[in-house]
Structure 1
Amino acid sequence: MKVLAFCITSSASSDFEACLSKVASMHSKHNFDLAVATGDFFGALAASPELCVRFVSGEISVPLPLYIATGQTAPPSKLAHLIRSNGEAAPNVFVLGDAQSESGVFETADGLRIAFGETVAENSTTKTKVADLFVAAAFPLAAASLSVLAEAKGITPSVGSPAVAAAAKGIRPRYLVCPSPSPSFLEREPFRNDNNSTTRLVALAAFPPAPSKSKERWFYAFNITPAKHMDSAALAVIPENATLSPFAALPSITSLPSSNARGTKRSAEGAEGNFFWGGGGFGPDAKKKSSSSSAPPSHYVCHACKQPGHWIADCPARQAPRGTPSGPPPDDYVCNICKEKGHYISACPSKAAKRQHLDRDPSTCWFCLSSPNIEKHLLIDIKDECYIASSKGGLSEWGGHLLIVPIQHVASRSEVLTEEALLQEITDCQTLIRQKFIEKRNAEEVPVFVEVFGGIPQGDAVRRVQHMHIQVVPVPTDISKTLRQTFLDAAGSAGLVGMPEGMLPADPATPYVRIEVEEMGDGVEPPLVLTMPVNGDPRAFFNLQFARRVLADVLGCPEKANWKNCTVSTQEEGKLTKEMKKFLA
C-alpha cells in the first residue's frame, strides 16, 4: 500500500487550502491508497466558518481517503455533528478520535491497522493484531534518546508528551507518525521493542515550513504491507541501524483493543458507537467511557468542568439540564407545554412523552447533516444549532429561496419550545437575511419565512415525521403588503383556520403552516399560523404544498407550485449556492 502522511499546524485558510492542494497534486502523480494527517488540522477550520462550510460541502476536494489525528484544536461544532454520526467530517475525510480522551485502532478494507489516541484499553496483543501505523498528535517524550539523528536536529530526550510515549511503548507500532517538536523533519533510526518488533518514528515538519526551513519535509510517503498479510518471520526482521527502545524505562499502557474491521467507511447507525465518540473502537459495538470503565489517566482533564479524575461522560457538571432554573417556579408560572403549574417548561414531564413519537432514524432524512441523502453542495453556512442552505427547486431565479434548518433532527417548532439556543440562532439567521435584503436588494424584495409541518396522523407516526425547516422566499415589497390577507383568503378555500396571535396548535401532532411576512418600513405583525379546524372533518387532507402554491400564484408563476418543475443541474445549483454565500457574507 502507498501511504502519504503530512502535518499542518497553520490556522490560516490560505495555508489549509494550499496544503490540501499539494496533497491532491501528489496523489495525482503517485496514486496513494490513503493519507493520514497530524498536527493541528482543525485549527484553520475553527478559525474560519466560511472555510469550514466549503470543506464540509466538498468544495475543497480531498481525492483520497484521509484519516486525521485530532491535535490541539478540536473539530468545530458544525463538524462534530457529522463526525458523531459516521466519523466522516467531509467527503473522504475521517477523524481518528480525540487525542485527549479517545483511543482505538481502525482497520481499513485492505487490512491496514491504524492506532490513535493517548490511552489504549487493556487487552492481549497478538501478532495478528499488530498496529501498522500509530498516528499521534504530539511527539513522544524520550523519543530522541539513543538517536544520533535526533541529536543532530537539536531535539532532546526531555521534549515530548509522556502519554504518547507510554502509548507507543504499549502499542509497538510498525510506524509512528507525529509532528516534529522543532521546525525540522526527523526520520529517527528504527528502534527495537520489548517483543523484538521494530518501530520507525517519523516526525514531520509543519506546513507551511518556516522561511529558513523551506526544504524541511512536512510530508512522508512510504509503501507498507499490512501486518495481517505478512508472516511472523518478515515482521521479526531487525534493521542493522536499529537502536534499543527509547521508551524502555517509561511506564506503558499495554496493548490494543480488538478492532471491528468495517472498511474505509462507517455506517451512520448508533451514534454512541461511533469511533470518534466511543471509547476504544467504532461502530455499533463500541462503548462510551463511563463510570463502569477504567479511570482516566492522570493527564486527562474533563472538558466540561476542567478538573481531572473523571471522564467527561461522568462529569457532575453535565448531569443537570442546561438552563434549568433552581428551585420551584413562582406561583403564577404556567408551563407552556402541559399548561400546568409546579414546574418549569424545561422540566415538564410531558416533554419526553411528546418527543417520543417524533423519533426517526436521521440516516433516512434529507435534511440531517449526517444523512447520506443530504446534498452538501447546497450548504451555505453551518452554525452551532442550525444551518442555511439553498433550496432545491427554488421559486427565485437568482437563488434567494433559502432554507434555515435545525441541525438536530426535530419535527416542528412545537418540539423545540424549550430549545432557547436553537430558537435564538434561527432568529439571528432571519435577522441577518432581512438585513442583507435591505442592503443588497435595495428593499425591492422582502423575505417571507414559511414553516410547514404535515402533522402526525394516529397510527402513522414514523412515516410522516419531518425534519423542521423554514423556507425563505423573496417576494416583491408591494406584494408583501397584502400577502397576509392573500394567505387568509386562500386558507378559507382550503379549509384551514388561523390561530390567534401566531400561537401553535396545542397538540404537537397537528399540522400547520407558519408564515412570517416582513413588511419594510411598516413593522412586523405576529406570525400567521394556519391549521386544520379542531372539529373539522377527520378525513380532511392537509396540503403540504399549500404555502408554495399561494406564493407561486402571487409571484405570477403558478407552474412553479411543483418544485420539480424548477429543478436545475447540480452545477447550476452549486453556482447559485456560491452566489448566496457572497450575498449573506
Structure 2
Amino acid sequence: AGSVKTLSTGKITEEIRTAAYSSEFSGYHGLLQTTIAVEPDKVDCSSETLPCGSEGYFRFNQSCTDFYECHFNTECQKFLSSPIETCPKCLKFNAKKMRCDFPWNVPECGNLHNIKMKENYCTAPGKYFVPDDCHKYYECIENSNGTIDLTVKTCPSPLKFNKNDRQCAEEDDIPVRPECESPNLYVGDLFDCRKFYRCNGGKPLITLYCPENAIFNGHFCERKSDSHLLLCGDVEGKFNALFSRVSNINTKSGPFDCLFCVGNFFGVNNKEFELYKSGERKAPIPTYILGPNSAEHANLYPDDDSVELCENVYCLGKRGVYTDSKGIRVAYISGISSKESNKHEYSSKDVAELYNACVRGNASFRGIDILLTAQWPSGITKNDPKKIALAVNKTSDLPSWLVLKLKPRYHISGLEGIYYERSPFRCPNLGDHDTTLNIVTRFLGLARVGNPNKEKWLYALNLTPLDKMKIAELLQKTTDETECPFDFTEIDHKIFNTKRKSAGASQYFYDTNAHEESDYGRRRPKRQKIEFDQSKCWFCLSSPSVEKHLIVTVGNATYLALAKGGIVDEHLLISPIEHHQNSLGLPEAALQEMNQFKEALRNFYGRDERVAVFFERNYKTSHMQLQAVPIPKQAVKELKEIFIDEAEARGLKLEVLESRNRLDQVVQANVPFFTVELPDGVVLYTRIKGNFPLNFAREVLVSGPVLNLDERSDWKDCILKKGAEEVLVQRLRTDFEPFDFTDS
C-alpha cells in the first residue's frame, strides 16, 4: 500500500487503512485519514502556540489545505499546537469533520478543478519533473516564514530535466523514465486533480481526464458516488467494542455506507448482544454478517435465510450476491467447507451455485467487487514474499476455486485470528468462455476484534462498482503484483473430480451450463439445428419485422439506417437489402455499394471535424450490420492500442490486416469473427472462439480516452421513443442529403 502518511507525528491508533502514496506522483490512494493520537515529545511550555480552545484539528489561516492539531499537554497544563500540516494531493481540509476530505465535501473551498498544488503539494523544498513537458520542472521553494511555494521553471534550451539528479542535462545523459516504459502505467498531474497521463512505452505521454465528478487518485478516477465500506474480522461476542469503534470512526471519518463482518460473529459469551436485541443499544451503521461456522452457534441464527437479527444487524444467509445502493456487488458464502451442506457447512455444490448466481443473465460478466468467506483459501500465501504462519489453518480449496472463477477485486476472510494483507495478484483467464477481466485481486485476512496483539481487525474500503469503471482503470498494473497462487486445473480436479485437461476446456463446460441456468456439472442436451425464418429478420427490408422508420436512405443493394440505442445521434448502420449473415458473403455489387456508403459517411462526419470507426460482429447476429460511429479527430491517437489492450483484458487477441478486403483470406464466411476499421485505415480482427462480449466495440468507443460516454455502454439504456427516433431520422436525412449518392 505504500508508505503511510499521517496527519501529524505520532502513532496511528485506529486500526484502519490510511492515506498512502505509491510513487512520487501517484497522488492520493486509499481512504481518508482517520483519527491520529499524538504522543508529544518534551516541549517548552513557554513556546508560542497557534490558537487552541479544545483538542482536535483546525484550519490554518483559512487555508483549504493547511491545518494543525491542538492537544492538551498535562505537563504544561495547557493546549499546545503541532506543526502546520498539509492535506494529501487533491484533498481539502474539512473544518467541520476535522480531517482531510474530498473537495466535493468542502464546498467553501470551491470545486475540484485546477487545484493549485502550490497549496497542497509542496511539503518540502525540492525539484520535480513535469509529466508532459520534459523541458520544464516544478520547484518547491521555502520562504523565510516557513511556508513553501511552488514555481514552474524551464531548462535552458536544449537541455531537459533529469529526474534522477533533479538537474537540467543533455538528452543523451537522461535515462528513460522506468515508470513510463509500460503503456499500462499512469501518473497524475500536479496542477489539475482531474488530469492524468498514460505512459506510452517511451513515447510522449497521453493526456487524459477524469469525469466531472471525480479526481485521479494515482490509480483510477475516484468518484463522489463511490461506496464507503467497513470490514471487520471475528467479533466473537465483543459487540460493544466493535460498535463503539465503528461509531467513532463513522463520526470522524465517515459516513460509511455499511459494515461487513467475516468469521465468527458470536462467541462463548454473547450477553452483550441482548442489549442490541432489546433496542437499548443500536448498531451505528447497517451491519451484514455471515452465517454460523459451528454447530454450537447454529441455534443463534434464525432458520430463515437473510434476516434481521436486531435493528441494523442483518444475516446475509447461506450464500448469494448482495448489491448495495451504489452498485457494489458482494458475493458471499457462509460456514466451513464439507462434503455435505447444512446450516454451518457448505459443499462444492454450494460454491457452484454461488458462481451460477453471479454470472446468470450476464453474458459479459466482468467479475465481482468483493468476495466474503469465513475460511481462507488454500494456498493463498504461495508466491507472496510475505511469510506468515497460520494460527488455525482452516483453509479450504472451495474459496480458492471461487476466487479463480469470480476474480473478486477484494477477498475478505476471518477465522485465522491474524491480520494478513497479501500482495495483489491476477487470476488467469480460464478459456474462451471466460468473460471476466484480468483484474487484480487483493486478499485480506482480518484478525479478531480487540485481539491482545493489536493486529488489524477493522478495514475501510472506498470502491467504485466494477461495472461502472473503465476497463483501463481495472487493468492498471501495480508494482507489487505476484503470480496467481492457485492452479485451476488442480483445484477443479480435487473438488469436482474433473479430468486433468486444459483450463480452457473445463471453463467451457462449466460456463456453458451456468449461462443455461442448469445445475453445475450437468451436460446440456444437444441442440437441434434451427432453420432461420427470413420473414422475422429485423434487417431484411422485405420483412414485416423491420423498423422502416429508422431508414435514412436506400441504395440498390444496401441501405443506411439509424442504429437503435446509438452511442451518438449519428451512429448508423450499413446493411444489405437481401439476407446475408456477414460481409464475407456479400455479392460484389453489394460490397461496392457498402464501400460507397462508407466513403459518404467519412465525408459526412468530416464536416464537423469527426472521423468514422466501422465495425462488424459476425456472432449472435443473423443479418450483416456494419456499424459506423463518428469520433473526434483528436481521439484517433492510440485508438489501435486501446482496442488491442482492452481485447487482451478480455482474453482476446486482435490482429492487424493490411486492408479490409483481405479479411476473406484469413477468415471463412461461416466462422464467427469481429473486425473494426479505424479512421487511419488500420483494420483489426479476431476469430471468435467462445463467449465474445457483445458490447466490446461499443465499450471501447464510449471509454474516457475516446468519447468519454461511459453511461452509454449498453444500447438498451439509450433507446429513444419511436417519435424521437422519427424526428432524429428526418434530421439525418436532411443533413446527409449532400453526401447521398442513391436515388431514394
Q: TM-score, normalised by structure 1?
A: 0.38
Bigger share in strand: 2
User: Which structure is higher in RCO with an 8 Å CA cutoff and minimum separation 6?
Assistant: 1
Larger of the two Rg values belongs to structure: 2
Bigger share in helix: 1
